[in-house]
Structure 1
Amino acid sequence: MSNKLYLRIKKTNQHLYAYVLHNGKQLLTVSTNQKMIQKNIEKIDSQRLPEIIGYFLSEKIKESGLSNIYLKKTYLFHGKVKTVVEELRKNGIIIF
């Protein structure tokens, strides 16, 4: 098994999920259906949701002391996926 950490982003019609995986197991998860985000979801512009997901995930990654995360490309690198990754990079997370 690999010791690499992977970022996986999943999109549905209603929600956006971002996971940090290690050996197929979820270490960290942030999604638009979590309570901390759901409370303010009506107030947030839907275009900003990927930024907010990226911000909360970057904070969790920093708290965990993780670094060097590889992007698991399940979708084309544009739109919401690109926005989440750019937000992570902006907050100091190294993504390959």
Structure 2
Amino acid sequence: MKVKSKQQYKIMRHRRIRAKITGTKERPRVAVFKSNQYIYAQVIDDKAGKTLASASNYGGKKTKTKTKDKKSEGASKVGEALAEKMKKTGITEAVFDRGGFKFHGRVKAVAEGLRKGGIKI
């Protein structure tokens, strides 16, 4: 019997989630990815295959969400920044794709930031 790694289980969870949810232009999918240091979130229209908006706490020139706070506080700010971008494009509700990660910690903080920004998930 072959032992599966944590990464393989994460991939299996993500495939199971993606089989059930899709994003449309009216209600796009908010996909979350987290690395050890950063968190990324993007709004995707699966029908057209386009990214409508994105935010992260990676300190590039395009984003203003880099903080020296705790990781979960930074993730919450990423959610709020993404909610602001979504409102500018006229999106008020979305489907949340946790990307195979548990809905806990930084992933949950992104969702709470989106809700705080006025997006219905």
TM-score by length of 1: 0.83
The equivalent of 1:76 in structure 2 is 102
Shift of the alpha carbon at 1:92? 1.2
For residues 30 and 115 of structure 2, what CA distance do their matches in structure 1 show? Answer: 12
In structure 2, stretches of 5+ residues that fail to align are 1-21
Q: 1:25 to 1:12 in 2, by over 3 A?
A: same
Among the aligned pairs, what percent are the same residue? 33
Moved over 2 A (4+): 1-4, 44-47
Higher Rg of the two aligned structures:
2
Q: 1:14 to 1:88 in 2, by over 3 A?
A: same
Conserved? CA contact 2:72–2:109, under 8 Å? no
| RMSD, aligned CA | 1.9
The equivalent of 1:12 in structure 2 is 35
Q: Deviations over 1:14-55 (max 9, x none)?
A: 2100000002321101011133234xx33x333310111011
For residues 2 and 51 of structure 1, what CA distance do their matches in structure 2 show? Answer: 22
For residues 81 and 69 of structure 1, what CA distance do their matches in structure 2 show? Answer: 15
2:87 matches 1:57: no
For residues 88 and 97 of structure 2, what CA distance do their matches in structure 1 show? Answer: 22
For residues 120 and 28 of structure 2, what CA distance do their matches in structure 1 show? Answer: 11
**Structure with the larger strand share:** 1
TM-score by length of 2: 0.67
**Structure with the larger helix share:** 2
